[in-house]
Amino acid sequence: MQNPNDRQFQDNLARIEQLIIDSEQAADPLVREKTKDLLQTLLDLHSAGLARLIEIVSQGGEPGQAMAHAFVQDELVKPLLLLYGLHPLPVEERVKQALDKITPSLGVHGVTAEILSIETDRVILSVHHNGNGKSHGGFATTVKQAIEEAFCEAAPELADVQILGLEEDRDVAGSSFIPLDQVKSATRDLPVSG
């Protein structure tokens, strides 16, 4: 059995991606269309089979529930459930779990995050930096990427993750950086001694 972290698994994913790119660049439009149709039909077949599998497992009482729980925890099965829209947890719960998972690493940087709203394909959250913790140049970008990656992994159906309170201009809380235009305007107002 392959593990998503195995080299062979990663090579297979890369090969699939390259084959899709190659088929999209085929000179013959009929070949492109038939390849697309083949892929979609294959995805539909897999989706129906996985949906039936989930249905059978869900009818299995307590052992079935334990199995379903194991599916959503498995590194190979979970992405398939997400891909085919079969993950048993609603997007809201998956987003909350993703935030809970990254909260400790945000805390190291003195950051707290609060979800303001979750819709089917959009999340809005508020981020606060308390000035404590480790911050550095590129701080806002690092925090933004961590949040977006966690949410994308947990809920790939999200089209938008809006983060309020995270300003790129204020990368380091308490920074002594002053933009040049502010320095120039401040020096214009100084009296000239002579």
Q: Are residues 75 and 17 in the same domain?
A: yes
What's the CA gap between 68 and 74, in Å, rounded?
A: 10
The pLDDT-based confidence of 7 (bands split at 50, 70, 90) is confident
The pLDDT assigned to 183 comes to: 42
Q: Are residues 78 and 96 in the same domain?
A: no
3-state secondary structure of 140: helix
Query: How large is the greatest C-alpha to C-alpha distance in the chain, in angstroms?
Result: 91
3-state secondary structure of 139: helix
Judge whether 14 lies within some domain: yes
The amino acid sitting at 189 is: D
Q: Are residues 97 and 60 in the same domain?
A: no
3-state secondary structure of 153: helix
Judge whether 55 lies within some domain: yes
- Quick: pLDDT tens for 137-169: 677 888 899 999 999 989 988 999 999 987 654
**What count of residues does the chain have?**
194
Judge whether 53 lies within some domain: yes
Q: Are residues 79 and 95 in the same domain?
A: no
Q: Are residues 69 and 103 in the same domain?
A: no
Q: Are residues 96 and 60 in the same domain?
A: no
Domain final position from 83, 115, 145: 83
Domain with 106, as residue range(s), is: 91-170
The amino acid sitting at 149 is: E
The pLDDT assigned to 134 comes to: 59
Judge whether 188 lies within some domain: no
Q: Are residues 114 and 60 in the same domain?
A: no
Q: Are residues 78 and 16 in the same domain?
A: yes
Q: Are residues 16 and 63 in the same domain?
A: yes
Residue 182 pLDDT exceeds 90: no
The pLDDT-based confidence of 188 (bands split at 50, 70, 90) is very low
- Quick: pLDDT tens for 34-49: 999 999 999 999 999 9
The pLDDT assigned to 5 comes to: 64
CATH of the domain at 142: 3.30.300.130
Judge whether 148 lies within some domain: yes
Maximum mean pLDDT: which of 17-26, 46-55, 129-138? 46-55
Whether the pTM exceeds 0.85: the reply is no
Judge whether 186 lies within some domain: no
The pLDDT assigned to 179 comes to: 46
Judge whether 106 lies within some domain: yes
Could you give the number of structural domains in the chain? 2
Judge whether 181 lies within some domain: no
What's the CA gap between 82 and 163, in Å, rounded?
A: 23
Instruction: Give me the half-sphere count of Cα atoms (radius 13 Å) on the Cβ side of residue 148.
Output: 13
The pLDDT assigned to 163 comes to: 93
- Quick: pLDDT tens for 88-145: 889 999 999 999 999 999 988 889 999 999 987 899 999 998 876 555 667 788 889 9
Q: Are residues 131 and 73 in the same domain?
A: no
Q: Are residues 102 and 165 in the same domain?
A: yes
